[in-house]
Amino acid sequence: MYAVIETGGKQYKVTPGEVLNIEKLDAEVGSEVFFEKVLVVEKDNDIKIGAPVVEGAKVSAEVIEHGKGNKVIVFKKKRRKGYKVKRGHRQHYTTVAIKAIEA
């Protein structure tokens, strides 16, 4: 059994028991969150595809932790012009454990 959910502008294929990092959510650690935007649900080789979402389907997950990703360095330079810019970025994320898929 799996489902495809959309959160944070990205799509994830999830299965029960899976742990994944997603865009940061405003939820407390240990709380339960529900994903209502379920695009595809597969159960026993029966696939339901939403248009755009599957009606009545939701995925429940538990928030494990919040964190920051690795630093990404952005360096711009134009040679012989004296132009250099160095910037860094660390993306915030939330780690969730998928508990159940309800179709």
pLDDT tens, residue by residue, 24-41? 999 999 999 999 999 999
pLDDT confidence band for 57 (50 / 70 / 90): very high
What average pLDDT does range 62-82 have in this prediction?
97
Residue 19, CA distances (Å) to 46, 54, 97 in order: 24, 23, 4
- What is the reported pLDDT for 85? 98
What predicted TM-score, i.e. pTM, was given to this entire model?
A: 0.85
What average pLDDT does range 61-66 have in this prediction?
97
Other beta carbons less than 10 A from residue 79's beta carbon:
7
